[in-house]
């Protein structure tokens, strides 16, 4: 985080919100300020809060959406049809006004990978979305036939995981994948190929 | 050098150098980069964000060049998917839109070896006959270079003949990446960087204003991008003829680099921001919505871009390379995109003269209440 970000937060008058967040004393007056804030300043504040509270790790859920229980906030919420900018504002507000060290999740299958990637700069720290085939169908066990080390073909999950890992890394963050098989660090394509059954 | 040091340099009016540009591209904090670029953008243009009523047309995709990144060109007439419009067909595209006519026609083509030069002259003259005040921004520097070679003329002769037929401005396409390490690999059989720049130099001397582009996100490095931007900055120092710079995101579908991933939204925003900071003598940086999707273009208006291009109507080059953006947008859609981004939409002509300034977005009380309710919901959790 740089002084520039601090300056952006300061000049947008949001430093007081940051202090209230740290002290656990956010009020509706602060929310008024968030509502009126410039998008980039809002993003800068949310990113600062994210950095202080949850660090650089991004959890990526690729099998089935985990329960949104506990402190998780999932965006876009419900059936909401948000524009890209609205989504970013919502993500930022969820980070700033949500629970401390909260899990702010973005469903990339609904908003697209591009926006999901940008949302990581606005306070999101989890990506969720079931990896499916190109036609949007769930990957069946039979889809893995004919792929693997010998054929040098990669199953769709591995390709998509690599793509997701690339998006997260290019946003300056560290992906950690969570699925039915547990938690694992993202690997590059060659290493991933070794995992193919 | 840190971003703070670079920021001080910018605020002191010092020019950024090669190493500064590379450091900006490599900086991890893209939000901070955006902040810096946005300050420059707002200093230059405030909230004003430009667009125009334009129409894209590609009259032929037959092309003797075999650029690795291109999904549009067909090597010869008669090949599957190859097309060359009859002049009447091209003119009909404008005639069909005369109830809401474009202010500008933007034409980019393949390098067709079999057409007479008169085809292009008649093409332009025909559009001017239909709508005398339409601005014709046609043929990239690569096409002008090809015409000069193919028809045995100088750049001046080509440009003067086309201007007599109605040409007003040149689009920026064909720049790709100037550095020979990259250009040799991806576009070895068309105009070199020096030839591209010379065409623009000549056009500027003749009194024309032109745009410039950069195709990013394939095999180039940050150093290649900075080299490219600095070459354009030098040209602009010399002539002052560039109106806008347009970074173009590489799209991999159906071309010789289809194994590469497309650049991400973060890369698009980073490139817009660094372009704004390095090109201190080019007035406008464009977020070309076709290349980066309208959603990311909207965000780019906070990362240094002050122009979102135009209505386009019928884009096919990016479409062939897998772009999921719509083929065209209406004026109302462009105005809404800009207003949603908190900017003031300004319809412009090709030379950035104001045609109409639209109002800033009006956010209804109901919308504000919804936003507040959502924020309060998060606070309740807290």
> What would the pLDDT profile of B233-262 be if each residue is shown by its tens digit?
999 999 999 999 999 999 888 788 888 888
* pLDDT the model gives residue B75: 81
What is the rounded CA–CA span in Å between residue B203 and residue B160? Answer: 9
For residue B373, the model assigns a pLDDT of 61
Residues 123 through 162 of chain A touching chain B, CB cutoff 8 Å: none
**What is the domain range of residue A147?**
55-195
What is the pLDDT at residue A134?
55
Domain count within chain B:
1
Q: Which among A4, A28, A170 has the least Cβ separation from residue B36?
A: A4
Whole-number pLDDT of residue A138: 53
A115 close to B (CB below 8 A): yes
Contact A40 B31 (CB under 8 A): yes
Instruction: Confirm whether A118 is domain-assigned.
Output: yes
B9 and chain A: CB distance < 8 Å anywhere?
Answer: no
| In-domain check, residue A30 | no
List, as ranges, residues 21-50 from A with C-beta within 8 Å of B.
24, 26, 28, 31-32, 34-35, 38-40, 43-44, 47
Q: How many domains does chain A have?
A: 1
Work out the mean pLDDT of chain B and round it to a whole number. Answer: 91
| Greatest mean pLDDT among A75-89, A110-124, A176-190 | A110-124
pLDDT for position A68: 56
Predicted local distance difference test score (pLDDT) of residue B275: 98
Q: What is this structure's pTM?
A: 0.86
- More confident position, B282 or A162: B282
Task: For this complex, say whether ipTM is above 0.90.
Answer: no
What is the maximum span of chain B, computed from C-alpha positions, in angstroms?
A: 75
Domain assignment present for residue A103? The answer is yes
Where residue A189 falls among pLDDT bands split at 50, 70, 90?
very low
Helix ranges, chain A (H): 3-11, 15-23, 28-36, 39-54, 84-97, 108-111, 113-119, 156-170, 189-195
Q: Which residue of A has its CA nearest to B372?
A: A35
Average pLDDT over residues B166-177: 98
Write out chain B residues lying below 8 Å of A38, CB-based: 342
Nearest to B65 by CA among B182, B199, B192: B192
For A127, the 3-state DSSP assignment is: strand
CA separation for the pair B220, B147 (Å, rounded): 28
Whether B375 maps to a domain, the answer reads no
Give the CATH number, domain containing residue B95: 3.20.20.70
Whether residue A17 is contained in a domain is answered as no
Q: Which residues pair with B8 in a beta bridge?
A: none
With beta carbons less than 8 A apart as the criterion, state whether B253 and B293 touch: no
Range of the domain at B301: 3-370
Q: Are A84 and A121 in contact (CB under 8 A)?
A: no
Is A82 an interface residue toward B (CB < 8 Å)? no
Residue B176 is assigned to a structural domain of this protein:
yes
Q: List A138's β-bridge partners, or say none.
A: A132
Q: Looking at CA atoms only, how far is residue B263 from chain A in angstroms?
A: 9
In this predicted model, which residue has the larger pLDDT, A190 or B321?
B321
Q: Is residue A12 part of a domain?
A: no
pLDDT band at A112 (very low <50, low <70, confident <90, very high): confident
B324 CB-contact burial (10 Å; exposed 0-12 / middle 13-18 / buried 19+): exposed
B340 min Cα distance to partner chain A (Å): 7
Q: Is residue B377 part of a domain?
A: no
Say what the pLDDT of residue A77 is. Answer: 78
Q: What are phi and psi of A146, to 5 degrees?
A: 85, 0
- Whether the per-residue pLDDT at B145 is higher than 90: the answer is yes
Q: Which residues of chain B lie closer than 8 angstroms to A99, CB-CB?
A: 381-382
Residues of A in contact with B374 (CB under 8 A): 90, 93
Q: Which residue of B has its CA nearest to A170?
A: B266
Q: Is A14 on the interface with B (CB under 8 A)?
A: no
In whole angstroms, what separates CA A122 from the centre of its chain? 9
Q: Inform me whether the pLDDT recorded for B194 exceeds 90.
A: yes
Instruction: With CB atoms and an 8 Å threshold, state whether B378 touches A97.
Output: yes
Residue A174 placed within a domain:
yes
Q: What pLDDT digit, counting tens, does each position of B148-159 carry?
A: 999 999 999 999
Instruction: Say how many C-beta atoms besides its own lie within 10 A of residue A81's C-beta.
Output: 7
Residue B102 lies in a domain: yes
Chain-centroid distance, C-alpha A155: 23
CA distance B271 to chain A (A): 13
Residue A41 has pLDDT above 70, yes or no: yes
Top pLDDT among B200 and A145 is at B200
B174-178, B321-325, B339-343, range with greatest mean pLDDT: B174-178
Whether the Cβ atoms of residue B256 and residue B68 lie closer than 8 Å to each other: yes
Yes or no, beta carbons of B296 and A115 under 8 Å apart: yes
pLDDT digit string (tens) for B7-66? 999 889 899 999 999 999 998 888 889 999 999 999 999 999 999 999 999 999 999 998
Chain B nearest C-alpha distance from A197 (Å): 24
Q: Do B378 and A93 touch (CB under 8 A)?
A: yes
Instruction: Specify the DSSP class assigned to residue B74.
Output: B
- C-alpha closest to that of B51 among B338, B318, B247, B360: B338
Which positions in chain A touch B7 (Cβ < 8 Å)? 4
The span from the first CA to the last CA of chain A, in angstroms, equals 42
What per-residue confidence (pLDDT) applies to B313? 78
Q: Which of B293, B378, B308, B303 is nearest to B347 (CA)?
A: B308
Chain B positions touching A163 (Cβ under 8 A) are 261
Q: What percent of chain B has pLDDT over 90?
A: 73
CA separation for the pair B253, B217 (Å, rounded): 14
Asked if residue A93 belongs to a domain, the reply is: yes
Name residue, tokens 């560290």. A174
Enumerate the H helices of B114-154 as residue ranges: 117-130, 141-150
Residue with tokens 């125009």: B52
Find the closest chain A residue to B363 by CA distance.
A36
Q: Is the peptide bond before B305 cis (omega within 30 degrees of 0)?
A: no
Continuous segment of H or E residues that includes residue A182: strand A182-185
B249 at A interface, C-beta within 8 A: no
Per-residue confidence band for A159, with pLDDT thresholds at 50, 70 and 90: low
Lowest mean pLDDT among A34-38, B324-328, B341-345: B324-328
Q: Considering only alpha carbons, which residue of chain A is nearest residue B295?
A: A84
Residue A173 located in a structural domain: yes
A100: chain B residues, CB-CB within 8 Å? 382
């Amino acid at each position: 985080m740089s002084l520039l970000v601090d300056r952006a937060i300061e000049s947008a008058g949001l430093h007081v919100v940051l202090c209230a967040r740290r002290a656990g004393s956010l009020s509706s007056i602060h929310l008024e300020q968030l509502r009126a804030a410039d998008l980039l300043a809002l993003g800068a504040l949310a990113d600062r809060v994210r950095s202080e509270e949850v660090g650089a790790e991004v959890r990526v859920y690729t099998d089935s959406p985990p329960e949104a229980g506990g402190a998780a906030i999932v965006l876009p919420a419900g059936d909401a049809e948000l524009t890209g900018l609205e989504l970013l504002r919502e993500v930022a507000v969820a980070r700033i006004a949500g629970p401390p060290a909260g899990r702010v999740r973005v469903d990339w299958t609904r908003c697209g990978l591009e926006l999901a990637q940008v949302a990581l700069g606005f306070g999101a720290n989890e990506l969720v979305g079931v990896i499916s085939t190109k036609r949007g169908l769930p990957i069946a066990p039979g889809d893995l036939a004919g792929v693997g080390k010998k054929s040098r073909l990669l199953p769709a999950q591995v390709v998509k995981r690599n793509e997701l890992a690339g998006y997260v890394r290019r946003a300056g963050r560290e992906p950690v994948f969570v699925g039915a098989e547990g938690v694992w660090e993202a690997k590059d394509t060659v290493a991933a190929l070794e995992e193919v059954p | 050098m840190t971003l703070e040091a670079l920021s001080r340099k910018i605020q002191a009016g010092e020019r950024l150098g090669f190493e500064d540009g590379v450091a900006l591209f490599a900086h991890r904090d893209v939000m901070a980069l955006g902040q810096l670029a946005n300050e420059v953008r707002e200093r230059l243009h405030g909230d004003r964000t430009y667009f125009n009523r334009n129409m894209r047309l590609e009259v032929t995709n037959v092309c003797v060049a075999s650029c690795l990144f291109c999904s549009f060109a067909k090597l010869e007439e008669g090949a599957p998917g190859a097309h060359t419009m009859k002049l009447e067909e091209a003119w009909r595209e404008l005639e069909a839109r005369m109830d809401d006519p474009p202010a500008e026609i933007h034409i980019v083509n393949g390098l067709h070896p079999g057409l007479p030069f008169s085809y292009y002259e008649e093409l332009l003259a025909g559009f001017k006959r239909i709508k005398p005040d339409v601005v014709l921004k046609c043929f990239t520097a690569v096409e002008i270079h090809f015409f000069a070679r193919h028809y045995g003329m100088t750049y001046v002769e080509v440009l003067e003949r086309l201007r007599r037929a109605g040409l007003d401005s040149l689009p920026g396409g064909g720049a790709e990446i100037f550095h020979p390490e990259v250009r040799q690999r991806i576009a070895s059989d068309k105009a070199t960087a020096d030839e591209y720049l010379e065409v623009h130099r000549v056009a500027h001397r003749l009194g024309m204003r032109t745009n410039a582009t950069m195709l990013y996100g394939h095999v180039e490095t940050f150093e290649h991008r900075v080299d490219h931007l600095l070459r354009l900055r030098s040209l602009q120092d010399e002539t002052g003829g560039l109106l806008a710079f347009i970074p173009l995101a590489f799209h991999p579908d159906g071309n010789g680099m289809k194994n590469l991933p497309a650049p991400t939204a973060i890369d698009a925003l980073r490139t817009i921001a660094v372009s704004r900071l390095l090109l201190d003598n080019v007035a406008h940086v464009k977020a070309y919505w076709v290349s980066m999707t309208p959603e990311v273009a909207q965000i780019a208006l906070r990362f240094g871009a002050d122009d979102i291009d135009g209505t386009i109507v019928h884009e096919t080059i990016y479409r062939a390379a897998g772009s999921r953006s719509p083929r065209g947008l209406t004026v109302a859609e462009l105005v809404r995109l800009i207003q949603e981004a908190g900017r003031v939409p300004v319809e412009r002509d090709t030379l950035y003269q104001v045609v109409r300034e639209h109002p800033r977005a009006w956010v209804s009380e109901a919308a504000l209440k919804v936003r507040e309710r959502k924020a309060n919901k998060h606070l309740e959790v807290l």
